[in-house]
Amino acid sequence: MTNTLPTLSNIRTPALTQALQHKLDNKTKPLGSLGRLEALALQLGEILGTESPTLDAPQLVVFAGDHGLTARGISAFPSDVSWQMVENFLAGGAAVSVLARQNGISLTVVDCGVKHDFLAGLPADTQRPGLLVRKVAGGEQGTADSSVQPAMTAAQCQQALHNGQEIIKGLPGNALLLGEMGIGNTSAASLLLARLTGLNIEVCTGAGTGLDAPAVQRKTAVLREVLALHAQATAPLDVLAAFGGFEIATMVGAVMQAAHERRVVVVDGFIATSAVLVAHALQPLVLQRCVFAHRSGERGHEFMLQHLGVQALLDLGLRLGEGSGGALAWPLLQSACAILRDMASFEAAGVSEKSATEARTV
């Protein structure tokens, strides 16, 4: 499948990185005493290309879609929960709605392929606040059942990628927080992880929405069948099309566009990271722009993070999705920018630094 995504350049320049490190090292604190917050501050400065970074108009986008594979009983919840949760987001009652509101983050939900008409009964051209309808397959359709055929056609995959790019072009700000909703999407993410890393599907598959141990075993058996059916899909976009879903593919396009624009990309849990996994397979430099919010309680997420060689900011046992982990981590990004931008240097504050002799003898 042809890759039409934007090309990424290396944003790390020795001059800026050295200037940022020097600025951090000369703040009124012992060297490195703010730990990983300093590394985060340096990364944010590199992404935004400045020694005084500011996070403006953050956008949390929840990409929603349904999965045909749910017909095989791989989820503890029926697919109707997808559209019901979208309505919950729009009503402001979901966890991510509360957290976004608390942190002053704009929340947008994108219908990438939910089996529901959110505009039914409304006048033509009506738009619902906070909702973008970008259905890939049209009508009330999710992806196809990947245990029978590819989850999406090559054309649908390209459409989803394009939709993701265009969504980001239309949003303000310099930070994108990834969220998702879709019953069955932990199965799609597990399949992407297994194929793109070569890991056994057993270690990639977890409880998802709350399956018990026997149900996880049945889910794993179904996913093994799906992998065998699509054994020829090995190129990143072919893998994405084979296993789905529409919300993940749209997220890949959004990630690549945000990275191209040098926005900070805040990555949530297992599903959001699966989109970054695909984007990384296409263009590894995407990781320079990504901040990983948390390590999910979903089994395969740790393996995704290990494969990408990254460390998440939080480890709270979360496995809700929605972008909830990104919203929880957001204050850390704000703090990192504030430290770099506003904290005094030894010289400015008139505070004595550790002497060269002390530095050698400590």
Identify the architecture of domain 14-53+340-361 in CATH. Orthogonal Bundle (1.10)
The boundaries of every CATH 1.10.1610.10 domain in the chain are 14-53+340-361
- HEC states along 77-118? CCCHHHHHHHHHHHHCCCHHHHHHHHHCCEEEEEEEECCCCC
* Residue 214 CB neighbours (<10 A): 8
What's the pLDDT at 359? Answer: 44
* Nearest CA among 7, 334, 17 for reference residue 174: 334
- Please name the residue that has the structure tokens 């989109």: 275
CB 272 within 8 A of CB 323: yes
Percent of the chain with pLDDT over 90: 85
pLDDT tier at 355, thresholds 50, 70, 90: low
**Cα separation of 206 and 216, whole Å?**
6
pLDDT tier at 351, thresholds 50, 70, 90: confident
Query: Is pTM beyond 0.85 here?
Result: yes
The boundaries of every CATH 3.40.50.10210 domain in the chain are 59-333
- pLDDT at residue 361 tops 80: no
pLDDT per residue as tens digits for the range 278-334: 999 999 999 999 999 999 999 999 999 999 999 999 999 999 999 999 999 999 999
- pLDDT at residue 138 tops 80: yes
pLDDT per residue as tens digits for the range 15-68: 999 999 999 999 999 999 999 999 999 999 999 999 999 999 999 999 999 999
* Residue 18 CB neighbours (<10 A): 10
What is the SS3 assignment for 10? coil
pLDDT tier at 113, thresholds 50, 70, 90: very high
Is pLDDT larger for residue 236 or for residue 356?
236
Residue 322 is among the residues annotated as catalytic for this protein: yes
CB 230 within 8 A of CB 150: yes
Return phi, psi of residue 300, to 5°: -75, -15
In whole angstroms, what separates CA 122 from the centre of its chain? 32
Over range 342-356, report the average pLDDT.
81
Over range 186-206, report the average pLDDT.
96
- Please name the residue that has the structure tokens 């179904």: 222
The H or E element spanning position 189 is: helix 185-197
Per the prediction, the chain carries an average pLDDT of: 94
Percent of the chain with pLDDT over 70: 97
Catalytic residue among 87, 302, 322, 353: 322
Q: How far is CA 2 from CA 5, 9, 181, 350, in A?
A: 9, 20, 27, 59
* Nearest CA among 222, 198, 217 for reference residue 207: 217
CB 95 within 8 A of CB 107: no
Return phi, psi of residue 87, to 5°: -60, -35
What's the pLDDT at 140? Answer: 83
Please state whether 49 falls in left (phi above 0), alpha (psi between -120 and 50) or beta: left
- Please name the residue that has the structure tokens 């550790």: 354
CATH of domain 59-333: 3.40.50.10210
